[in-house]
Amino acid sequence: MTTTIEKIQQQIADNPVLLYMKGSPKLPGCGFSAQAVQALSACSEHYTYVNVLTHLDIREELPKFANWPTFPQLWVDGTLIGGCDIIIEMHKCGELRPLIKETAVKYSYRSRL
């Protein structure tokens, strides 16, 4: 049987841009998740999300695994980028879009091999 940590590791490995959030992009469960979704949506690239309100095991284990206590959490290419404040700051200073686009290009190229 897969442990929660193994499930988290697999999700991060399988999804180049992954947002752990409260709720869903269409119905965020908190203001911080809503802001993160807005910033990511402005990048116009696909991303995956996990609703930690319906995955209580992940909600409990991910903060310990990531050493990051809050949600949302943005993971890009296997690396934790940070939470809402960092996502918003990167978006405002123009760093988020290039990072997301680079990752999208990298993985779309890989999938064609």
Q: For the chain, what percent of residues have pLDDT higher than 90? A: 88
59 annotated ligand-binding residue: yes
Q: What DSSP string describes 2-55?
A: --HHHHHHHHHHH-SEEEEESB-SSSBSSHHHHHHHHHHHTTTS--EEEETTT-
Residue 110 has pLDDT above 60, yes or no: no
Secondary structure of residue 71 in the 3-state scheme: coil
**Residue 21, pLDDT score:** 98
93 annotated ligand-binding residue: no
32 annotated ligand-binding residue: no
CATH topology of domain 4-103: Glutaredoxin (3.40.30)
43 annotated ligand-binding residue: no
Residue 82 pLDDT grade (very low, low, confident, very high; cuts 50, 70, 90): very high
**Residue 40, pLDDT score:** 96
Q: Region 10-35: what's the mean pLDDT?
A: 97
Q: Region 13-20: what's the mean pLDDT?
A: 96
Q: Which amino acid is at 68?
A: W
pTM over 0.75: yes
Contact 36, 74 (CB under 8 A): yes
Q: At what angle are helices 84-92 and 31-41 packed, to 10 degrees?
A: 30
